[in-house]
Structure 1
Amino acid sequence: MSLLGALNTGARGLGVASAGIDVTAQNVTGANTPGFSRRTLRTTQLDPVASKGLWIGQGAMASSVVRSTDRLLGVRLIDAAGAEASTSTLSDTLSVAESYFDGSTATGLSEAIDKLFDALGTASADPSDASQRRSVVYAAEVFSGTANRVATGLSQSLTNIEESLGANLDEVNAALEEIAALNARIGHAGADVGPADLLDRRDQLILDLATRVGATAQLHADGQAEVYVAGHAVVSGGDWREMSTGTNAAGESTITVAMDDGDFDITKGVGGAVGGLTEARERISGWADDLDALAFTFATAMNTQHAAGFDQSGAAGTDLFTLPTSAAGAAAAIAVTAAISDDPSLLALAGSASALAGDGENLAAMLDIENDDSLFSTGTIGAASSAITASVGSAVAAAESDAETQSAIVGDLETLRESVSGVDTDEEATHMLEYQSAYRAAAKVISACDELLRTLLQIGG
């Protein structure tokens, strides 16, 4: 090999070492960046050349920078992240709803019902006692207030869900648009561009979409990704389809995707946090309906019986509770009739207008409502209340268990991903020393060749 050939080989060695230092620097600076995949420099040995009967190598050159990834592991992590986000969102949302029922910070629904019948039972000893009558009114107000509080809490939870759905979709559309733009850049990227950063960003956006809407992706040979939500392609190449919220007949938000023939409802198929929110909405709406039915049925039975009695002045009884005309919204609207709240003597506890002061015949009939198992499909008012709270409790427990399981799965997969794609800064420090040494050695080769060439020129001069 000529001195010029050796000089070129040294220059190529300098280039490889320099590229290695650049890649190592990328790894060190990206070590703590979410979604960053460790880079590895690949080199290619050049073909040797024949010189005076000898085959002389020409050294190596940097050929590419590749990411350390495992495609199958990435797919598993995307699926698991979507499931974890769905279950954790469901668990968190239902736990808030449960707090309205459990009575940990205020009187619970079942406790309020028990207190009302306890007050009626105590008053039966002396129905004419003003303090006992006041206790009955107070207990009735506690029951109606508890129903109001729980209903208001559930309504607020539903409002929060609707707001969260809209906020999530804004983020989803921004991510879809960015993925489509990245696809276009990745598809046209040359070796000099080095699209590893673009691929990392693309993959992180897909993972974020999985946590929001349960998105999945199919990767193509050119590096572009096709993204699906609920089985519908929402990103294909450089094109993307907008997702939005609509409203169904019940006034609930729906999730739609813009297709060529119009918006398509995909609410039932969406996963991730949005899927958890829609499932929570369905459950909470059901509990709100059950609460309305309980409040309306129970209060109607109490009103009917109360109206059959007589107050202390001998006047016929009126409704004990004010209610809407149907069960819808009953729990939020129920209240003790204002006149009775102001004047407990209007409680119609007597069985007849001419009864003696201590008559509690109608009071006894009102007490019997506690054990009337014909009021609800689940039996008595106590059983109906317990059925609702049991439904809430079991749903929350199941959601919490699922969330813990999915969280553990995601944790394991993230650990595996870190072992494949993560950066060990100590290892990178070693690589840096190796490349620095190689750089110095290549520089010495160049320096030596330069010195020899100068010597030849001097001899020739």
Structure 2
Amino acid sequence: MSSFSTLSTALSSLHTQRAALDVAGQNIANANTVGYTRQRAETSSVSATAAASRFSSGLTVGQGVKVTGVARLGDIFADARVRSSTSLAADLAARATTLTRLESTISEPGDKGLSAQLAQFWAGWQDVANSPGSPAPGQVVLESANILAEGVATGYRAVRTQWDETRAQSVAYVEEVNSAAASLAELNDAIRSVTVSGGNANELMDKRDLLSTQLAELTGATTRLQEDGTVTVSVGGNHLVSGDTAYRINLVGSTTLVGAAADGPRLEWERTSAGPVTLDGGLLAGNLASLQGERSDRSGGALAEAAAAYNKLATQLHDRVNAVHSTGTTTVGTPGGSFFALSVDPGTPAALGLTVAVKDPADIAAGAPGNGAYDGSVADEIGRIGASADSPDRAWSAFVVDLGVRTQAAMRSAEVSEQSRQTASLVRLSGSSVDIDEETVNMLAFQRAYQGAARVLTTVDEMLDTLINRTGVVGR
């Protein structure tokens, strides 16, 4: 091995240690970059050049070191677990958020809830029964009836507003999915081009994995890594991203709460041959579940069921009170008619169409026919409706209790799922995130190796100087 070969060996070490320092610097620079996966320069020794010969060529040593690549220290299994747990956590979180917000709008239990308004309404009829000829109790009943009707309508409007906002949010999610899918397809193309040309696509792969996790959070998409570094993303068994091609999805179906029962919001592929989109999780799955219409088996959306509860309460109030009130007479003997009225428009929900038909306390039919002007038996019977086994109060209370139980269960499930997601994320970060202490130690090791290689260069230079400039001149 010649002295010049030693120079080449030392030079290869300088190049290699500098590349390793560059990688360590890149890691430290991106220590706080979201989605960044730490990297490591992979090196291998350069073997000595040897040729077949009849005679021994003597002892030979290697010719230095070289960088064979920059490894990305990620774990595909940890990544897959994060995407799976993120999908489930997002789905349950969306459902829990819907139920929690819905529960907050009903104000139960409390003095501003419908239960309190119903109790006040029935108590007012008892006062009318005790003083059928007095206008004050009658006026109180009319006022409490108007407050009750307005409370039912307000509750329904709150549900309708939440439904509209949830659908608008779902539209935004769909656009986000299509945008992320298009970006991921572009990254696939870039990664494949860089990889084929022998370049380093690690940073592009980091962005690719971030988009894959984002799609899993939105749609529950599954990701499969291909040999060329690209990924195939599937939703419900159909490709959302394949190579450099992205397939769009659209949100179709009813744009109103009333129409959700007949044509519930759903996702469809823009390419008609693929049919509807089947979601396995994600925020969209949770939102769409809440947007579905009412069903007889109670498997419909939470918002539609709440709207149905308000409609049922309005209908029961109308039917039960009118059935009794129409049998009575006023203090002057006029037959009683309907106390409540519903809208004749078939497109108007009962909760919004409930109004008080009686405008004057004198028109309240508190007594039974033939029992005199001061009879309050009919008013007393109306007041006892709230205590009956099939009263509107009991139906409403059953809905409130069911909603509370479902909300608490959804919140607990969401919390457990979120803890699982956080655990999976921590496991991934423990293997792929940058450790500043470790990188500092690595930099010191690379620096010392660089200094050692430089020292070898200096030593060989001194040897060559002696051979070239000093040999043969000693003693002159």
TM-score computed with the length of structure 1 as normaliser = 0.91
Q: Secondary structure at the match of 1:62?
A: strand
Give the deviation of 1:308 after TM superposition.
2.7
Corresponding residue number in structure 2 for 1:370:
386
What is the CA deviation profile of residues 2-31 of structure 1, one whole-angstrom value per residue up to 9, with x for unaligned ones?
222111111111111111111111111222
- The answer to whether the Cα contact below 8 Å between 1:306 and 1:366 also exists between their aligned partners in 2 is yes
Alignment of 1:60-99 (within 5 A): 60-99=65-104
| Unaligned 5+ runs, structure 2 | 51-55, 292-300
**Which residue, 204, 209, 214 being the options, matches 1:203?**
209
SS of aligned partner of 1:47: coil
* Residue of structure 1 in register with 2:286 after alignment: 276
2:226 to 220, 223, 227: 220
Tell me if 1:358 matches 2:395.
no
For residues 212 and 24 of structure 1, the distance between their equivalents in structure 2, rounded to whole angstroms, comes to: 34
Matches within 5 A, 1:90-169: 90-103=95-108, 107-169=112-174
SS at match of 1:145: helix
Return closer, same or farther for 1:164/1:270 CA change in 2, 3 Å cut-off: farther
Partner of 1:345: 362
Q: Partner of 1:189: helix, strand, or coil?
A: helix
Aligned to 1:306: 325
Determine the C-alpha separation between the residues in 1 that align with 2:11 and 2:268: 58
Does the 8 Å CA contact 1:10/1:442 hold for their aligned counterparts?
yes
CA distance 1:105–1:194, shift in 2 (3 Å) = farther
Unaligned runs of 5+ in 1: 374-378
Secondary structure of 2:275 counterpart: strand
- Name the structure 1 match of 2:427: 416
Equivalent-residue separation in structure 2 for 1:104 and 1:432 (angstroms): 63
Provide the rounded CA distance (Å) in 1 between the counterparts of 2:448 and 2:112. 74
Find the residue that maps to 1:42 and give its secondary structure. Answer: strand
SS, match of residue 190 in structure 2: helix
SS at match of 1:56: coil
Task: Tell me which residue corresponds to 2:269.
Answer: 257
The offset of 1:256, in angstroms, is 1.3
8 Å contact kept, 2:333–2:373: no
Indicate the SS of the match to 2:60. Answer: strand
Q: 1:42 to 1:300 in 2, by over 3 A?
A: same
Identity rate, percent = 27
Letter of the 1:227 partner, please give it: V
d(CA) in 2 for partners of 1:169, 1:105: 38
Per the alignment, residue 376 of structure 1 pairs with none
The total of aligned residue pairs comes to 450
Q: Which deviates further from its counterpart, 292-301 or 205-214?
A: 292-301
What residue in structure 1 maps to residue 305 of structure 2? Answer: 286
Deviations 1:228-253 (A, max 9, x none): 11221111111110011112573543
C-alpha distance in 2 between matches for 1:316 and 1:4: 121
Deviation at 1:111, TM superposition (A): 2.2
Query: CA offsets per residue over residues 274-323 of structure 1, 9 Å max, x none?
Result: 11111222121122123212211321221232233233443332332231
Moved more, 314-323 or 20-29: 314-323
1:16 counterpart = 2:16 = yes
User: Retained in 1: the 8 A contact 2:332–2:373?
Assistant: no
Task: Tell me the residue number matched to 2:6.
Answer: 6
- Letter of the structure 1 residue corresponding to residue 285 of structure 2: G
Q: State the secondary structure of the residue aligned to 1:234.
A: strand
Offset, 1:364: 2.3
Deviation digits for residues 86-120 of structure 1, max 9, x if unmatched? 11111111111111223367622222222211221
Query: Is 1:238 matched up with 2:266?
Result: no
Counterpart residue type for residue 348 of structure 1: A
The answer (yes or no) to whether the contact 2:309–2:396 under 8 Å persists in 1 is no
Q: Is the CA contact (8 Å cut-off) linking 1:292 and 1:328 kept in structure 2?
A: no
Name the TM-score, length of structure 2 as normaliser: 0.88
Q: Which residue of 1 aligns with 2:395?
A: 384
Q: Distance in 2 between matches of 1:450 and 1:171?
A: 62
Q: In structure 2, do the counterparts of structure 1 residues 415 and 99 end up closer, same or farther at CA, with 3 Å as the change threshold?
A: same
